[in-house]
Structure 1
């Protein structure tokens, strides 16, 4: 008798659970319709997507440089690392002193690169020796010149002090020239966008995105080992600006 009552009670509880969970156990069609409704609510309809146009503007201008950066390479070698570094410091001191005599202040001279590495010899059997035979120290120094007329004199002074090579001469554009090139790129991009919009019978709307990139200024590489009495003819610096703009179409 007790077993029968327990069975009836279990059936009643099972029926109650089935009643409460009936909305969850819907038909596949109903479940699909509910899923489709949720999916559509997360995304814009196709007619709500904005029409856009992407254009690329370019601006290039030339002008007198605001300054010049001259880079030199300095190398020393000695059997011991300490000796190579000490000789390198003495050589750099001579270079800085010589350049300073041309009217360049110490704060305009900086070190861009410094490295030291061992060098190994080879025996008669062409195998490399296990111990280094010497050490080489190499560095690159940069001289910033606001007075561009000093370039030739600074090159001569540096080589007279013992530098090994001329790494390069870089023209430094003025901020005004960079801004003018940027405005030229912006104007170029807008003219293109207006032309395309007019051809489509539309008008330009708001700007959605702008990306800018700047090409490095023109760099002049002189001869690596110039003779005494170096001549340097100043040239104009060229600045290029690139810009990408995304417009909405109305």
Structure 2
């Protein structure tokens, strides 16, 4: 019987000792006190690097912003003249160029008075009215933008606000930039780890900080060719598309060994 009791008690005591090592014992007031065995915690060796991915892409879409502006002594006449000239713009876009309605949208329409200032009396008087109808035209025929502007000027457009080149494949290009950024981060990590006498083991975390794919914008200040075409010059309008810079930045944490 004594042998049997000893066989039962030894494992129980061993278990109690094991538990006591990890958790400690209860205090006299009933509140439990815990002790952590720090020898079980393994501190990982890590390295944090920044990665950058950049690429240049060719624009595949352009947004052309133009306006029809008319002047008259009354608001009604200014608006009527504007409607007549705007009809010529629509004919070019929808009949000549067969554009989809979704690619032509009005961005502004207003009729407002024009004033003249009398320096003798110091008073301002209404001298007439101006009507302005602005539209944004989306085109994917980038080689034909100069011809489009010339055709629009002949139809009645007398203001060009600018041309903006962009891409409709931004998501695709962002993924390519991320690939480059990740490769850039790994190259940095390998170099730093080697200098420290270690090797990169695996990725612990990745975060994307920013992505940029700014469009190319040609405003009124650099649209001299279009202005000359509208003033009667026979020289064709020429617009260069250029390239779009796509870039992204990431932060990667690697484990080293």
Bucket of the pairwise TM-score, normalised by the shorter protein: 0.5 to 0.7
Given that 2:111 and 2:131 are in contact with CA atoms closer than 8 Å, whether structure 1 keeps it comes out as: yes
Question: Could you say what the CA RMSD is over the residues aligned between the two structures, in angstroms?
Answer: 3.2
TM-score (norm 1): 0.65
Q: 1:117 to 1:229 in 2, by over 3 A?
A: same
Q: 1:246 to 1:140 in 2, by over 3 A?
A: farther
Given that 1:212 and 1:244 are in contact with CA atoms closer than 8 Å, whether structure 2 keeps it comes out as: yes
Q: 1:50 to 1:198 in 2, by over 3 A?
A: closer
User: In structure 2, which of residues 117, 131, 151 is the aligned counterpart of residue 122 of structure 1?
Assistant: 117
Matched, 1:76 2:70: yes
Gaps of at least 5 residues in structure 1 are 1-46
After superposition, residues 127-206 of structure 1 pair within 5 angstroms as: 127-129=122-124, 132-175=126-169, 176-200=172-196, 201=198, 203=200, 205-206=203-204
> Aligned residue for 2:35?
none
> Aligned residue for 1:245?
251
User: In structure 2, which of residues 233, 236, 254 is the aligned counterpart of residue 230 of structure 1?
Assistant: 236
Instruction: Determine the C-alpha separation between the residues in 2 that align with 1:187 and 1:153.
Output: 43
Q: 1:179 to 1:48 in 2, by over 3 A?
A: closer
Given that 1:206 and 1:248 are in contact with CA atoms closer than 8 Å, whether structure 2 keeps it comes out as: yes
Shift of 1:247: 2.1
Per-residue Cα deviation, 1:215-249 (whole angstroms, up to 9, x for no partner): 31223443250324524365453232222324254
Aligned length: 202
Given that 1:118 and 1:136 are in contact with CA atoms closer than 8 Å, whether structure 2 keeps it comes out as: yes
Q: 1:53 to 1:134 in 2, by over 3 A?
A: farther
Per-residue Cα deviation, 1:52-89 (whole angstroms, up to 9, x for no partner): 625141312233x3233222233222333343333323
Q: 1:169 to 1:124 in 2, by over 3 A?
A: closer
Shift of 1:103: 1.9
Shift of 1:143: 1.8
Instruction: Determine the C-alpha separation between the residues in 1 that align with 2:254 and 2:123.
Output: 67
Gaps of at least 5 residues in structure 2 are 1-41
User: In structure 2, which of residues 82, 96, 103 is the aligned counterpart of residue 88 of structure 1?
Assistant: 82
TM-score (norm 2): 0.63
Task: Specify the SS of the correspondent of 1:226.
Answer: helix
